[in-house]
Chains A and B, each alone.
Chain A
């Protein structure tokens, strides 16, 4: 069957088998291998992508179900190709050592980005709850929580600076 899926802002038309899972569509058809394929049983969360903005485990979604939808993968987090273009969540994981082996990282970052989009100042407990369906086998959870907090603080500072600027402009 033919599907049209927008991935990271680019539209792709592909002929796929109905049984093709979204994670394999992204990795094998589109060669977007940033999305990891982990446990295959919707337990580990390495495959989390955003489907119309909502984090989902792409090993348990058919590519056919994403027909007509907008998918964002870890490749869509950064705004460009330089370090300055990284999403604050990516920067946070870099600065706070939010990864060791890196296998869980794409899924962790996608869920964290979605969390910060709806809750810009989450508590450590809220962050832990948000990533509770994802497994870091290096057990680096402490640093993952710190990384997300770092991103939240950076974005808060940026908002504050923008507010000051706009109120100065008005004055």
Chain B
């Protein structure tokens, strides 16, 4: 039987209250959202917070709001809510694709967008998807809000730009007229972490790539992105050859590790193939050839 170590427990009543509790209880106090990463780590005693601050009651962080040129996704939006959102499906099919393959439906009922980003697992899917979309993380502390590009949010495995007395409150994703996107992941079995995954955002200007974002997960890509492949495509032709070449570059520049999910060459191959596939799908979607 797996039992977490003892801790003190508080329910935060507001974001300010959560920040005040973090400040009062010091560095060994952790926030808990859906708990589907933190509680398993606590059961294995990989995490032993002295104080747990439960933010599940912060309903104002569980909102998906469309603003003029962006969508603001609250940190407490559950994965299931992101998957079910018509606004998200319309503007960011990459997120809907990703949510279909994040964990399983029951886990998605509990796990949150903010929790996933802050856990910062190197195989986490939304980090790659938000990086492809060049989203912005909104972080709040006692002195107010600050914004950090998702591409600068991750400081390394399980480390983020969120300081101890701060809270990730939302992710803002820019709406790019005429763009589309897609995400693909290979997993060993339903609900598992990725062997490798890739996401792409494309805005085409006729047959030219006007803007592009490529995210990679589980393959050791720095900040979950493939900048060399993006540079190759930007301003060039949106052809299948270009997408294949972009895949090659993405594969060459990532640095996967061998583990129980596969050896390095296999993961590198997947990074390239999945990159090409999501570029193709994003292009088809932006041309209205595929939903």
Q: Answer yes or no: are A and B bound together in one complex.
A: yes
On chain A, the residues within 8 Å of B54 by CB distance are 62, 64-65
The answer to the question of A8 belonging to the interface, with a C-beta cut-off of 8 Å to chain B, is no
Quote the shortest CB–CB distance from B190 to chain A (angstroms): 5
On chain B, the residues within 8 Å of A140 by CB distance are none
B36, B43, B56, B105: the one contacting A132 at CB < 8 Å is B105
**CB distance B105 to A1 under 8 Å?**
no
Q: Which of B239-272 contact A (CB under 8 A)?
A: none
**Residue ID in chain A nearest B80 by CB atoms:** A54
A21, A60, A62, A132: the one contacting B104 at CB < 8 Å is A132
Interface-central residue, B1, B5, B103, B191, by most chain A CB under 10 Å = B191
Q: Which of B192-250 contact A (CB under 8 A)?
A: none
**CB distance A56 to B109 under 8 Å?**
yes
Determine chain B's interface SS by DSSP, over half rule: loop
**Residue ID in chain B nearest A55 by CB atoms:** B106
Interface string of B52-93 (1 = CB under 8 A from A): 101010000000000000000000000000000000000000
**CB distance A19 to B5 under 8 Å?**
yes
The docked-state distance in angstroms from the alpha carbon of A67 to that of B10 is 12
On chain A, the residues within 8 Å of B25 by CB distance are none
**CB distance B5 to A42 under 8 Å?**
no
The docked-state distance in angstroms from the alpha carbon of A115 to that of B43 is 30
The docked-state distance in angstroms from the alpha carbon of A21 to that of B107 is 16
On chain B, the residues within 8 Å of A62 by CB distance are 9, 35, 39, 52, 54
A17, A60, A111: the one contacting B110 at CB < 8 Å is A60
Interface size of B in residues (CB-CB distance below 8 Å): 28
**Residue ID in chain A nearest B189 by CB atoms:** A132
The docked-state distance in angstroms from the alpha carbon of A133 to that of B106 is 6
The answer to the question of B174 belonging to the interface, with a C-beta cut-off of 8 Å to chain A, is no
**CB distance A17 to B6 under 8 Å?**
yes
The docked-state distance in angstroms from the alpha carbon of A64 to that of B109 is 18
Task: Give the interface size bracket for A toward B.
Answer: 20 to 34
**CB distance A19 to B106 under 8 Å?**
no
Q: Which of B93-144 contact A (CB under 8 A)?
A: 103-107, 109-110
**CB distance B7 to A111 under 8 Å?**
no
Quote the shortest CB–CB distance from B20 to chain A (angstroms): 19
B5, B40, B56: the one contacting A60 at CB < 8 Å is B40
A17, A45, A55, A60: the one contacting B35 at CB < 8 Å is A60
**CB distance B40 to A45 under 8 Å?**
no
**Residue ID in chain B nearest A107 by CB atoms:** B106
Top-5 shortest CB links A-B: A133-B104, A18-B9, A133-B106, A19-B4, A132-B190
6 contacts between A and B (CB under 8 A): A18-B8, A19-B5, A19-B7, A57-B36, A60-B110, A134-B104
Q: Interface residues, chain B, CB within 8 Å of chain A?
A: 1-9, 11, 35-36, 39-40, 42-43, 52, 54, 56, 103-107, 109-110, 190-191
Q: Interface residues, chain A, CB within 8 Å of chain B?
A: 1, 17-19, 21, 40-43, 45, 48, 54-57, 60-62, 64-65, 67, 111, 129-130, 132-134
